[in-house]
Structure 1
């Protein structure tokens, strides 16, 4: 019996000695790097003793805070589930070894691949950016340059809104008997949308394509006219898509003919899903129609942006599939930046007849690239590396890569949602914004829950909870700064959410891709826009930041006389010193500049052109017509440069003299 006890004690001693000898012979750092968790034994026992004595709620929160007993952060398992998918998963390593590129042969192959890729891009982009389009006449006469416009550009002869065209629109002539040849980019079905309020007659227009009247013409005659007249201040590229003359996918060239004054611009349904145009039921001194290219041919018309994007997605996908994580990451992020800058959503309108504008665009691309690369490196270091380094090729190409381009091509994905920006005033003004924002919010919430669970499984919930509490505190602090408004641009949202995607599971592949795409899209297109903006910046050239307009005074007893009075502000800037008079608009065209506070409308209408339009309009509308009037303080010398905000439009039924006061506010 004593011998048995002695043997047991000896075995216990030997086991203890062996364990102690083993543990003392291995450095602590090697245990840690090998994945062994070192726990303070006494503290650990005390913690569990306290938990045993505690209630179930306490145990639950302890489990939530500290994570599972055995943390796991494993890569996606689905690529090994089916033989055919497993073959795709293992193909890169079987073809080029475990890592590509890893030797001289691999680097030569990658360089050759990228050279072919860039050569194809150059052959497509160079003619569009550097070789001007022309209209060649069949008669052999001198070729006519085609003017390149943006989707939200006016005609080259039209200066802008309100009084930009000067008294009676003189600065925007000719109003008729003039032809223009224009080239429009792709995506002008939405690219001509107004994002700041513009008055058309008696209506305030926002979040709608700026095309007034027009529509595809059903007349089949020898004149070659393809559309009904559009008001001359309509965006011609947006109007061209509405009329079916310009493609929303590849853009195109169009012939525009100035067609003089019109008495009405009825709303008509457009082509390519553009909806109805804006209605204006009164006269306007200038209009244009679209005509076909008779007696000649136009060259260099089509926008290659979708072709460029398709080529880059294809070649980028191949390189991303075969390359190791870091190399593939830099290839696709850099190429997406230049895809946005040069073709998909350029931050600058280039003129192919003036090559300096194309070089300026390339300069902007490099200007934004260096700080973007720093951001991308930090993102890689703290989030993406954990996912893509030694990541699954199938998961990269099925989950990460497609969502990356969804975010990077934001102007054809998320920009199509009726959410202009995350600013309460914009959300309130835009139809469908609440519904879209609710749906997007629910999607983000579900994605957040999934990713929080992934972080918890990996045992790092506590760490990231503290990080995001600090982030939320910082955002709240910024929101409370007086005089500034918080603007969460989509690149900022991407940067805020990316740290929480530092896991290895399928959800991280999905969410990282779209967030990095949004970061690149925002910075490449809009640069590092500030997270804090002033009220003036938020207006985006909309009225509301200048001098308060005068107030109309109308007496029924003198229905052909119009007066106004001015309310002077307590503090007026130096800008106000140059303003010594008033500017009066009739049907969105300036008809009076002077110092008088009362004008005789009969005198204003006495001019030959305006009197003829007024008489024709009354004949057209059965003896009466609606006139829309707006007033602003302005310089009598340079009213186009120095003027305050205009009032909202007042409506006067002429010649009866029935007056409708303008709504409160400015325009």
Structure 2
């Protein structure tokens, strides 16, 4: 692996593996140092690892301590160097008694040409690490000198840690020049030497764990573990979704009544209104499913809260309070205490027709909205239910999958590409079956339709970023688990992590109207800017920044061109944000590991829950059920000309005709107490059939071919017969 662009000879702390393919042969070099054939053979077969700890002591002297290890944990040479050019005697168990001195030197201070060529320009600025080692002739029968320099050079387009060694042996009769090239891996924090005044210690936890788990690092064991996981997952999915009748499932937004004119004239498309019961099962977390657009409830417009209307009245028959038919069933059941928010649950719902005066109340952390008029459809809850297996197991499944991935990363240590694809599969199906199923029971055939293209995108993630970073952590399982698993699961559960952040859509109306949204957007933007700028700073040192700038500018221009197509707007879905950002997380650093793990989890969350949603949508698709900005009709009736002394049976309301220059509309839609009561080109409506003594609410919209535009805000006839003109603007 290439060394990080930010690494210089000022700090070479890290773990380095000798790359035998790129390095010169060393057998003759070691033979001239007097090393036996058997030892040279072992070194030729084994892989050499250098654990380098570079630090400055309290006196300002640089130290480089190096612990060499061969495959299988065979201890090699230990080097403890102080860069003060002072001779030190050392008894090495391989090379015998030696005398060495080390310093930081400018290239012009080096006499041997081989030792000062091919280095990167930054090495010329910071200096190379220069070491001079000779045998102690009083204790060692061998006679050799090794003059060497350490630094970084460009090898096959990548920055590599390198050592240039010149050997002089047998009194100068034999000389040999060798270049050693190393692969970089981050130095494990749990392997470093730590210094506290005069104390020096190292935990070596990574080495110990690696040694303990080496017998488990077999693909056969991994295959058995994978098979056991799939069987266990099947039973967990069965308990979660397939032991309750499919028609009993409701979602967090399920209702008995659709917004505005969705139920048709007089609500005929939402019948029956009474004499019906329904046993239902709700998922967990429904108290946080909220309205993203204002919803007209009489003259109120609740927004950014669960839609719960009523429930504050007292029933004497053991059932709950009465909820208006367009209330979210599951949020209302939580409000009534029938189910819990954390585990979901089952209950029984009974329909009630023509209920009047829905009373607001606060219970179980939720506050309902009042509606003082009559509504044709409402419901009450009873806790009894014949359904079984009602609790939502998503938290249990999350704990199960986290444990599985911890076992995978800490104990089994499969090859990096196997670990990567394991995360892809586990994360995708966790979202599909547990954390954000599209429906209940989960539509498995639809999920497979998304899974295949998701695998192709994931392969691009591997090629662009993961293959350059994850292998760097192969031999440090503890750090690998920390840097990858925590952000990965945060990304998979990004909907839960961001649940309290008051931003769902990056559109101006949401940011303007929702409390705290602007501050949240600014903070997120600043954090993202800092992270991106830091990555750009490091990428610049690799020399690849112009290439990346060119690619991102080309992508941005493409998006800009398509977003200018008539009727289309750019909508940044979080799965697309992950795709856009993953290419800059290719550097073999801990931060890159965190970034790419989180982005992979966020990508899987997005596509598994919502498929590959289009990044170009119409304005109506973006605002969903919000106002689209269509033209509004106006009431001819107003408070000035209204006679409040007349009873409702003799009252009529009217409105103005279509504008002369407007041919887009062919009829009107009148909502009376949030129920469509007129859909025609008439210009008035009689109030004779309305119940007296309670307030009534009127909203009007233009309509074309049965499709309504935006509705006005509510005009009100109070219980005392007074008329209140509607506020300006549309009801959302």
The residue that corresponds to 2:436 in the other structure is 345
Secondary structure of the residue aligned to 1:263 is strand
Secondary structure of the residue aligned to 2:724 is strand
The residue that corresponds to 1:331 in the other structure is 422
Question: Aligned in 2, Cα 1:146/1:480: closer, same or farther, shift over 3 Å?
Answer: closer
CA deviation after TM superposition for structure 1 residue 30, in Å: 5.5
2:362 to 255, 266, 269: 269
Q: Could you tell me whether the CA contact under 8 Å between 2:243 and 2:388 is conserved in 1?
A: no
Q: Distance in 1 between matches of 2:594 and 2:415?
A: 18
Q: Could you tell me whether the CA contact under 8 Å between 1:561 and 1:598 is conserved in 2?
A: yes
1:224 to 302, 311, 318: 318
Question: Aligned in 2, Cα 1:32/1:426: closer, same or farther, shift over 3 Å?
Answer: farther
1:163 to 256, 261, 266: 261
CA deviation after TM superposition for structure 1 residue 531, in Å: 2.3
The residue that corresponds to 2:636 in the other structure is 553
The residue that corresponds to 2:396 in the other structure is 307
1:365-384 alignment to 2 at 5 Å?
365-384=447-466
CA deviation after TM superposition for structure 1 residue 551, in Å: 1.9
Q: Distance in 2 between matches of 1:453 and 1:74?
A: 20
1:316-465 alignment to 2 at 5 Å?
316-321=405-410, 322-350=413-441, 358=442, 361-391=443-473, 392-456=476-540, 460-461=544-545, 463-465=547-549
1:589 matches 2:675 = yes
Question: Aligned in 2, Cα 1:84/1:241: closer, same or farther, shift over 3 Å?
Answer: farther
The residue that corresponds to 2:647 in the other structure is none
1:3-31 CA distance string (max 9 Å, x none): xxxxxxxxxxxxxxxxxxxxxxxxxx958
Q: Could you tell me whether the CA contact under 8 Å between 2:296 and 2:731 is conserved in 1?
A: no
Using the size of structure 2 for normalisation, the TM-score is 0.68
Question: Aligned in 2, Cα 1:459/1:244: closer, same or farther, shift over 3 Å?
Answer: farther
The residue that corresponds to 1:298 in the other structure is 387
The residue that corresponds to 1:567 in the other structure is 658
CA deviation after TM superposition for structure 1 residue 480, in Å: 5.3
Question: Aligned in 2, Cα 1:458/1:200: closer, same or farther, shift over 3 Å?
Answer: same
Q: Distance in 1 between matches of 2:214 and 2:663?
A: 72
2:296 to 182, 199, 202: 199
The residue that corresponds to 2:306 in the other structure is 209
Q: Distance in 1 between matches of 2:697 and 2:478?
A: 63
Q: Could you tell me whether the CA contact under 8 Å between 1:67 and 1:460 is conserved in 2?
A: no
1:541-574 CA distance string (max 9 Å, x none): 334276x45321115445422111233596767x
The residue that corresponds to 1:147 in the other structure is 248
Secondary structure of the residue aligned to 1:206 is coil
1:649-664 alignment to 2 at 5 Å?
649-664=714-729
Secondary structure of the residue aligned to 2:432 is helix
CA deviation after TM superposition for structure 1 residue 647, in Å: 2.5
Q: Could you tell me whether the CA contact under 8 Å between 1:553 and 1:563 is conserved in 2?
A: yes
Q: Distance in 1 between matches of 2:552 and 2:575?
A: 17
Q: Could you tell me whether the CA contact under 8 Å between 1:89 and 1:394 is conserved in 2?
A: no
- Structure with more strand by fraction: 2
CA-based RMSD of the aligned residues comes to 3.7
Return the structure number with greater relative CO, CA threshold 8 A, min gap 6.
1
CA deviation after TM superposition for structure 1 residue 374, in Å: 1.0
CA deviation after TM superposition for structure 1 residue 70, in Å: 8.6
1:86 matches 2:204 = yes
Q: Distance in 1 between matches of 2:381 and 2:439?
A: 26
Question: Aligned in 2, Cα 1:175/1:532: closer, same or farther, shift over 3 Å?
Answer: closer
CA deviation after TM superposition for structure 1 residue 629, in Å: 0.1
Secondary structure of the residue aligned to 1:77 is coil
- The range that moved more, 408-417 or 259-268, is 259-268
Unaligned runs of 5+ in 1: 1-28, 49-65, 134-144, 351-357, 606-613, 619-624
Secondary structure of the residue aligned to 1:590 is strand
1:178-189 alignment to 2 at 5 Å?
178-189=276-287
- The range that moved more, 372-381 or 243-252, is 243-252
Q: Distance in 1 between matches of 2:207 and 2:662?
A: 70
Q: Could you tell me whether the CA contact under 8 Å between 2:634 and 2:656 is conserved in 1?
A: yes
1:125 matches 2:237 = yes
- The range that moved more, 232-241 or 204-213, is 204-213
1:449-598 alignment to 2 at 5 Å?
449-456=533-540, 460-461=544-545, 463-477=547-561, 483-544=567-628, 548-555=631-638, 556-557=640-641, 559=643, 560-567=651-658, 579=666, 581-598=667-684
Question: Aligned in 2, Cα 1:549/1:86: closer, same or farther, shift over 3 Å?
Answer: same
Q: Distance in 1 between matches of 2:191 and 2:314?
A: 60
CA deviation after TM superposition for structure 1 residue 270, in Å: 2.9
Q: Distance in 2 between matches of 1:480 and 1:172?
A: 40
- Structure with more helix by fraction: 1
Q: Distance in 2 between matches of 1:654 and 1:387?
A: 70
The residue that corresponds to 1:626 in the other structure is 695
Secondary structure of the residue aligned to 1:551 is coil
1:180-237 CA distance string (max 9 Å, x none): 211111111123x12233211112233221111225x888x6x222x32211210111
- The range that moved more, 552-561 or 462-471, is 462-471
Secondary structure of the residue aligned to 1:431 is coil
Q: Distance in 2 between matches of 1:393 and 1:586?
A: 65
CA deviation after TM superposition for structure 1 residue 67, in Å: 13
Q: Distance in 2 between matches of 1:527 and 1:568?
A: 43
1:237-276 alignment to 2 at 5 Å?
237-271=330-364, 273-274=365-366, 276=367
1:284-295 alignment to 2 at 5 Å?
284-293=375-384
Q: Could you tell me whether the CA contact under 8 Å between 2:279 and 2:387 is conserved in 1?
A: no
Secondary structure of the residue aligned to 1:537 is helix
CA deviation after TM superposition for structure 1 residue 159, in Å: 4.2
The residue that corresponds to 1:95 in the other structure is 213
1:403-455 CA distance string (max 9 Å, x none): 01101112211244211122223222322211211222222223224333443
Question: Aligned in 2, Cα 1:400/1:166: closer, same or farther, shift over 3 Å?
Answer: same
Question: Aligned in 2, Cα 1:39/1:281: closer, same or farther, shift over 3 Å?
Answer: farther
Q: Could you tell me whether the CA contact under 8 Å between 1:451 and 1:500 is conserved in 2?
A: yes
Q: Distance in 1 between matches of 2:451 and 2:25?
A: 37
1:256-288 CA distance string (max 9 Å, x none): 2334444322332231x33x2222233323322
Q: Distance in 2 between matches of 1:148 and 1:249?
A: 17
Q: Could you tell me whether the CA contact under 8 Å between 1:549 and 1:566 is conserved in 2?
A: no
Q: Distance in 1 between matches of 2:532 and 2:710?
A: 45
Secondary structure of the residue aligned to 2:695 is strand
Secondary structure of the residue aligned to 2:204 is helix
Question: Aligned in 2, Cα 1:177/1:458: closer, same or farther, shift over 3 Å?
Answer: same
Unaligned runs of 5+ in 2: 1-20, 27-113, 126-156, 163-182, 194-200, 644-650
Question: Aligned in 2, Cα 1:349/1:529: closer, same or farther, shift over 3 Å?
Answer: same
